[in-house]
Structure formats: structure tokens, C-alpha cells
Amino acid sequence: MNGDADVADAELVQAMAAGDPAAMATLYERHSGLLMGLALRIVRDRQEAEDLLHDVFLEAWRSAGDFDPDRGKVRTWLAIRMRSRALDHQKSARVSRHAGDGGLEVLVDESEVASPDHGRVRQALAALKTDQRRVVELAYFEGLSCSEIATRIAIPLGTVKSRLAAGLDQLRTGMVTG
């Protein structure tokens, strides 16, 4: 998404804060695919993901007045809400944490492929070592703690923390320079 679209999204959130349902519909149309993909990756159940998507947009409607465009993009604001709700749901419902072999590359809705950020994220992820990518995926998309990751993949806790830190540092660097 380019800067103009980011500004337009911020304006839509302002309009939502003023009670404009058409702004909500437009924002939903723009971002529901990405958020649905994220929810499906975490909860692995379409009905649950659809319910979470509804909840996230309802929450966005209610808290639109709190959105600060200086703190980030609307897409990020919504994705963080979705990730948080999906992980909360996963933990509270004790949903199976069976880890698939699919990576972060399957997370993003394919309609986002044209986004410059999408390509940069894929490049940064591809540059990670396999062991680093695995712990990043388990932490951020399975919602596992470092100790749970250590148990899941049978490695020491310190190794998990080191791989996670190194992977996140490399992603950060890759996103800045990529």
C-alpha cells in the first residue's frame, strides 16, 4: 500500500469515529482479506476466523477515535488487534496448537502481493535461517512462549531466546535495508 492509501485509511478511521458506516465498509473491503488470512493462520477454523474478523472490526469501530496515525498505519493497527484476539481465543479455547509446516509466507492475503511491504517481508523472511524462521513463526503465529517453543521443538530455552532475538534483529534489518 502506498502513502496515499495509508492517508486514505487514516481518513476512513476518522470518518468511522464520526459515525460513518460507509467508511467502515470501505475499510473492511480493503483489509478483511489480510485479517482473515491472519486469523485463519492462527485459529485454523474458518467460522472462528470469521467471528474474530467481525469482532476486530466492531472493536475498530468503537475505538476509531483512539487511532493515532502518527503511531502507525491503519493496516498494522488492525492486524495487531486481529493477532491479539486470535491468540487470546486460541489460548482461552485451548485450541490445538498443531504447528503446520507452512510459514509466514502463507499468512498474507494474495491481494496484498502488489504491496511493496509484502515483497519486503517475504524477502526478509526468506533471508532468515530455517531455525530462526521456525521460532519466529511459533512465537508470533502460534502464540507460544519461549518455554513452550523449547518444549515443542526440543531445544534449550536459551537457544530459543537466542534464535528469536537473532531472527527478529535480522527481520528488522531486512525491512530497513530491503
Cβ contacts of residue 17 below 8 Å, gap of 6+?
Answer: 64, 65, 67
Residues 67, 89: contact at Cβ < 8 Å? no
Output the pLDDT for position 107.
Answer: 47
Residues 12, 27: contact at Cβ < 8 Å? yes
Cβ contacts of residue 114 below 8 Å, gap of 6+?
Answer: none
C-alpha angle 83/89/93, rounded to 5°? 155
pLDDT per position in the chain (178 positions), as tens?
557 888 899 999 999 999 999 999 999 999 999 899 888 888 888 899 999 999 999 999 999 999 998 888 999 999 999 988 988 887 775 544 444 444 444 444 444 444 556 667 777 777 889 998 888 888 777 777 888 889 989 999 889 889 888 888 888 777 666 5
Residues 148, 166: contact at Cβ < 8 Å? no
Instruction: Tell me if residue 50 falls in helix, strand or coil.
Output: helix
Does the predicted TM-score (pTM) go above 0.85? no
Residue that the C-alpha cell 496448537 belongs to:
97
Q: Would you call 153 exposed, middle or buried from its count of C-beta atoms within 10 A (0-12, 13-18, 19+)?
A: middle
Domains of the chain: 1-96 (1.10.1740.10), 113-178 (1.10.10.10)
Residues 123, 94: contact at Cβ < 8 Å? no
Output the pLDDT for position 15.
Answer: 95
Dist. CA 88–CA 14, nearest whole Å: 27
Dist. CA 62–CA 41, nearest whole Å: 25
Output the pLDDT for position 177.
Answer: 66
DSSP 154: T
